[in-house]
A and B are shown apart, each in its own frame.
Chain A
Amino acid sequence: PGPARLARLPLARVKALVKADPDVTLASQEAVFVLARATELFVETIAKDAYVYAQQGKRKTLQRKDLDNAIEAIDEFAFLE
């Protein structure tokens, strides 16, 4: 209940991404869990930020260009450029 919910993203998939990094030796299960939760928060955040642009365009469907606009405008998303 509330913000402290368990991960919806499958930890195995997140772990596979972690393992893709050649510099990573080991990752604790907790680390993978926190990464999964962080990714979920990230998805929520970017969806909401992109939606602002859809609203400006008076649309009820989030489109690719809304994402692009959000990524360009918001500093935290610079790593996606």
Chain B
Amino acid sequence: MAERPEDLNLPNAVITRIIKEALPDGVNISKEARSAISRAASVFVLYATSCANNFAMKGKRKTLNAGDVLSAMEEMEFQRFVAPLKESLEVYRREQKGKKEARKDKDKKTDSEEQDKSREEDNDDDDERMEEEEQNDEEEVDN
């Protein structure tokens, strides 16, 4: 059962927390405003994805990568996001590397949890597990 994009929302609690931390102490947010921001965030993801996918296709790649997302940010006039995103990505990569090392040690015994790969079959909604591509380690961020 494919979900309609409008149905795909982000968790209210997380959105609210991000908003509150961005605003000064003592500032509140109405439910309607919070809802509107949450919807805007979903639209942002959809638009950024589409934009990023154009870069992937331009590069004749079938896999959308981190660099494509960064290119999309520039295209969408959110250049100021690029530097902090690159920093976050570095931290994320180090973390993932650390996890991988830990898994290699466990690899002796058969683990029910598979090696993470990020693969998508068309609209395979059953596959909710986050997966990691082997080639991510070699992937360069172009921007």
Contact = CB atoms under 8 A, between A and B. Distances in A.
B88 interface: yes
A4 B91 contact: yes
Nearest to A25: B62
Interface in B95-143: 95-96, 116, 118-120, 122-123, 125, 128, 130-133, 136, 139
B3 A16 contact: yes
Interface of chain A, helix or strand or loop or mixed? Answer: helix
Contact of A37 (B49, B85, B93): B85
A62 B28 CA distance: 6
Interface string A1-38: 01111111111111111111101111111111111011
A18 B68 contact: no
B1 interface: no
B37 A34 contact: no
A32 B136 CA distance: 12
Contact of B30 (A42, A61, A80): A61
A73 interface: no
Interface residues of A, number: 62
Interface string A57-71: 000111110111001
24 contacts: A4-B87, A12-B130, A14-B10, A20-B3, A20-B5, A20-B8, A28-B64, A29-B132, A29-B136, A30-B89, A38-B78, A43-B19, A45-B22, A50-B33, A50-B37, A51-B27, A60-B26, A60-B27, A60-B28, A62-B23, A62-B29, A64-B33, A76-B77, A76-B78
Interface of A: 2-21, 23-35, 37-48, 50-51, 54, 60-64, 66-68, 71, 75-77, 79-80
